[in-house]
Structures are given as C-alpha cells and as structure tokens.
Amino acid sequence: MQNIKDSFFIAIRDRLATLNPQRTVLIQGASRPAILVIENEISAAAPREADVFYLHWGLSAAASGTERLEKPLIKISCEVFYLTLGSDDLSSQDRGRALATLDRELLSITLPARSALKEFTQSPAQDLGATVFWTRPVLGEIVQDGRRLMRTAKLDAFSFAEVNL
C-alpha cells in the first residue's frame, strides 16, 4: 500500500512544482514543493503553515466487490488540508481569492487522475507496471478561524494489490 501512497504523492508533488514553482515550503533548510504527507514529516505536530497542502492518509481496504479477485483493488482514503491568510499587503482582504487559487491548484494537479505505480525505495524508482488512480477531490466547506480560511478536500486512491503487501 505504501507504493500507492508514494506514487500518488510524487505525481501531484511534481505537478505542483510544474504548475506553480513559487509555491514552496522550507523544511529543515530545504525548499520543497508545498505539499507534505503528514505521516512522513518529523514536524507533524507543528502548526500548519499557510498556503501548503497537507496530505493525511486514512483507511485502506479492498474496494467493494473486488475482494475475491486474485489481486483485489485497494482503496486508500486521503484528506488534503490547506489554509491561507491572504496577503499582508492587502490586510488579508484577498484571502478568498487566495483560497480559490489553492482550490484551483489542487484540482489541476489531480488531473489526469492517474499515474504509474512505482517503488520509491530505490533510485531511480522502479516502475511496477501498474497504475494508481484516484477520484476527483471533493472540496469541503470553508472554515474561518480569525484571519485563516481553511478547507479539507477528500479523495480516494486506488491500485491493484501488490504481491509483496
């Protein structure tokens, strides 16, 4: 299942870097595309930074109706959390537009809704000859907390079970 998570993350991370190279985050002195997997970060308990996408992996199971297949289709739920404060130059009056930009970027980087399934524990990554695919993100309600506007989007990622699960 880790290969499904990694393949999805790397695909959308690389797409974000191409779509908006300025959307970065500084982690331990290194600038990276502003998309992080919470379970992979040392600072997972740290407060969330603005204008960064945070992926949280949820439950995983065989997709309904595929349990009897030789290689069942695995479904993993994913939540993408992000927030914005708007810009200081405009006293946060542009935070709605900033959130709409984050929404648009998330919807853009998740298309096409598929990527090659790869094993990333080696370099270069090994193509596993399969595909990971996912549903379109469903954007949750906007939550306001002081100057912060926040949203959580939900999607499901799928791939056929690997032999070495």
For 61-90, what is each residue's pLDDT tens digit?
A: 877 766 666 778 899 999 999 999 988 776
For 121-155, what is each residue's pLDDT tens digit?
A: 999 999 999 999 999 999 999 999 988 999 999 99
pLDDT for the residue numbered 67: 61
For 19-57, what is each residue's pLDDT tens digit?
A: 999 999 998 889 999 999 998 887 655 668 999 999 999
Between β-strands 114-119 and 126-134, what pairing exists: parallel, antiparallel or unpaired?
antiparallel
Residue with tokens 């929404």: 103
**Cα(27)–Cα(119) distance, rounded to whole angstroms?**
24
Torsion of CA 61, 62, 67, 70, to 10 degrees: -120
End-to-end CA distance of the chain: 7
C-beta atoms surrounding 57 within 10 Å: 20
Map out the domains of the chain with their CATH numbers: 2-160 (3.30.2000.20)
User: Are the CB atoms for 157 and 132 separated by under 8 Å?
Assistant: yes
pLDDT for the residue numbered 165: 40
Averaged pLDDT score across all residues of the chain: 90
